[in-house]
Amino acid sequence: MSKAYFISDEDLHAYIDGALEEDRAAVVREALAENAALAERIALFQADKAMFKSVFGPLVEQPLPAEWLARVDRRPRTNWRMACAIAATLMVAALGPVAWRYSAPATQADVVDVALNAREGTPAGDRRIIQDGKTNSYDAAFRQAVDSNVHIPDLSRMGYQLSGLHLYGKAAEIVYRGPQDQLFTLYVRRSDGAARFDQFERRGLRVCIWQDDQISTVMAGNISAAVMQRLATLSYTGLTS
């Protein structure tokens, strides 16, 4: 018989960070081994953490804007450690209330519209459909189309199964079906080099664009913002792992 546990989200986050006392960490490990739903929840937290690291990690290497440093310099008797803390606070404030919004989609009409046209079956150019249900057989065709070392993401932990792959010359659309047969698509092509990350509604769908210096990915589905955040994390980490 399974034991009764109360494991809070704070416990799970502390466990992921290695910040729990060993006695409590042992309780969490035992609970995770016995409770599939709890194990799924911590997996989603880990995926979210990977997303934040991927999106905001590059900001650490960028120099702070001169006006932020000027604010620090104007504070009397501020040592270097306090200066770093102030600069970090200013950076968080500048990022805005939505912490995982990296940059506004200034040119979203470009790749987003192309991706949604593909989803609706009206792409620009020829479409080649591959549909045999085997992830491994898709990878080579996908990499060739996108001209990048990418992989077909496994979204099965969220209940989404691979349904097909559509190729459009130098781009590809990966098609999934969700637990209620809902359609979820990933449109992937080479990036123009600008980092972009945003989530919004378009054409009655929840859309997420995630772009780094190598690939541009547009994800679309009739889903909530929270589900999109998790699917986007799994998709991006799966593409680039």
Question: Do 46 and 35 form a contact (C-beta atoms < 8 A)?
Answer: no
Pick the more confident residue, 186 or 56: 186
Q: Is the dihedral of CA 234, 235, 236, 238 positive or negative?
A: positive
Comparing C-alpha atoms, which of 200, 197, 159, 198 is closest to residue 176? 159
Angle, nearest 10°, between helix axes 36-60 and 9-17? Answer: 60
Q: Is the pLDDT of residue 9 over 60?
A: yes
The topology under which CATH files domain 111-240 is Protein Transport Mog1p; Chain A (3.40.1000)
Q: Is the pLDDT of residue 78 over 80?
A: no
Q: Alpha carbon of 8 to those of 15, 43, 127: distances in Å?
A: 11, 14, 48
Q: Is the dihedral of CA 59, 62, 67, 68 positive or negative?
A: positive
| End-to-end CA separation in angstroms for the chain | 38
Comparing C-alpha atoms, which of 221, 181, 172 is closest to residue 201? 221
Q: Is the pLDDT of residue 60 over 70?
A: no
Residue 38: partners with Cβ closer than 8 Å, 6 or more residues away: 5, 7, 12, 31, 32
Q: Alpha carbon of 15 to those of 4, 19, 34, 37, 144: distances in Å?
A: 19, 6, 16, 16, 40
CA distance linking residue 16 with residue 54, whole number of Å:
17
Residue 83, CB half-sphere, CA atoms under 13 Å: how many? 14
Residue-averaged pLDDT of the chain: 76
Residue 151: partners with Cβ closer than 8 Å, 6 or more residues away: 139, 142, 143, 238, 239, 240, 241
Q: What is the DSSP string of 53-70?
A: HHHHHHHHTSPPPHHHHH
101-140 pLDDT per residue, tens = 444 444 444 899 999 999 998 765 566 766 655 556 678 8
Comparing C-alpha atoms, which of 150, 15, 10, 225 is closest to residue 141? 150
Q: Is the dihedral of CA 206, 44, 5, 7 positive or negative?
A: negative
Q: Is the pLDDT of residue 96 over 70?
A: no
185-226 pLDDT per residue, tens = 999 999 888 888 888 899 999 999 988 888 999 999 999 888
Which amino acid does the sequence have at 4? Answer: A
Question: Do 152 and 237 form a contact (C-beta atoms < 8 A)?
Answer: no
